[in-house]
Amino acid sequence: MAGSARTLLASGWNRATLRLAAIWSLTLFREKHLKCVFPFYTLSMQNEFTAVIERDDEWFVAWSPEIPGANGQGRSVEECRESLGAAIQLILEDRREDGLRGAPADALRETVTIR
């Protein structure tokens, strides 16, 4: 375990909070990097997901039952919700990229809207 992780655990952070902090940091890095490299980068898909938010001492932690692996955290409910939204966005973008890798170049790509 890294020294900084040991320090955070000693100061009262639990392993779940450390994992969420790592996910959040990666999400922020990816968002900044993609927007710098691809100025036109936006998420075209919009939908609603359930956010299950729980209090963990001074922090709020969240997860979404519709998107396995999506977690968020924050010192306020709003910050927690935004963190979860960023994690969901990151997961869906990654799944889209993975799913399109094997698609033939001449295959039709259309948008399906769910309301």
The predicted-structure confidence for 43-98, as pLDDT tens digits, reads as follows 455 688 999 999 999 999 999 999 999 999 999 999 999 999 999 999 999 998 88
CATH of 13-99, one of 1.10.1740, 1.10.10, 3.30.160, 3.90.1150: 3.30.160
Per-residue pLDDT at 38:
45
Domains of the chain, residue spans: 13-99
pTM over 0.75: no
The predicted-structure confidence for 15-36, as pLDDT tens digits, reads as follows 666 666 666 665 555 555 544 4
Per-residue pLDDT at 39:
46
- Would you call 21 helix, strand, or coil by DSSP? helix
SS3 content of the chain, % helix, strand, coil (to 5): 50, 10, 40
CB 40 within 8 A of CB 49: no
Q: Is 65 exposed, middle or buried (0-12, 13-18, 19+ CB in 10 A)?
A: exposed
